[in-house]
Structure 1
Amino acid sequence: MHGIMTTVSISLASSEVVASERTEAAPDYWRNLDPSWKHTGPPMRRYFHPDGYHSADPHDAVWGGHECTYTVITSFVDDGQIREHYVRINRWPPMKVSRKDDWSWELSNHLYRYNSIPDSHRKGCTGPLFPVW
């Protein structure tokens, strides 16, 4: 994996459509609303908009139409090195930002995981769609 691009910016995050998943630690109520958890449908999609708004597809059972925003948090130490870099959605636990081998993004914490969908056909995309060996 190429490690140069390991931080996410608002402009990049806002271009992403991501698949949302629950982890084993997520409460049963939320996991049972997720069709991918029950193997009855595809992962739910989430959208990060440039204005900081975070949304879902219409008729998403988990979403419920509530207000949701995100913020990219980056803090630096004296020498310009990044001390912390994470995404905060509403008041949920911080989500670690990482790159996967296929150059897609992953935002994750102990409850939820968001994986970007590769979009190599777009300008400013997540990267080439190459098989991972």
Structure 2
Amino acid sequence: MNLEELEKLLQGCGVALYDTEVANENGRQIYRVYITKSGGVSLDDCETVSKLLSPIYDVMPPVSGDWILEVSSPGLERKLSKIDHFAKSIGEMAKITLNDKSQIIGKITSVNGDDIALSSDEGSLSLNFNDIKKAKTFIQW
């Protein structure tokens, strides 16, 4: 099943696909499906999606070998790996590492094409998505 098909299935459950990833933890391969929903994701949402996907993935595994399906919310502090992630995070604080290893912390103010505008202590700045090595939202406590 491709990501477009997965997105359509999740829409039927009242949630949206945020991202997927494959992780190896304690010698186990985990296929994670991160979902979002206006107002927040509940345990019932995760259970509903898991029950929907399990039989499909039993027939068409998303990864090879032994693996475990995990469905969850991306959380308050989440990875920003797609331009769409930035667009959905406007108004939130982000910690960004650029390809040159410099770091920027600021509030995402807008996204236009591949350009991401931030407001930081140094003022407003614009970054190109392709210059970003990694990024995540974060909460200031």
TM-score (norm 1): 0.29
Which is helix-richer, 1 or 2? 2
Structure with bigger RCO (C-alpha 8 Å, 6+ apart): 1
TM-score (norm 2): 0.28
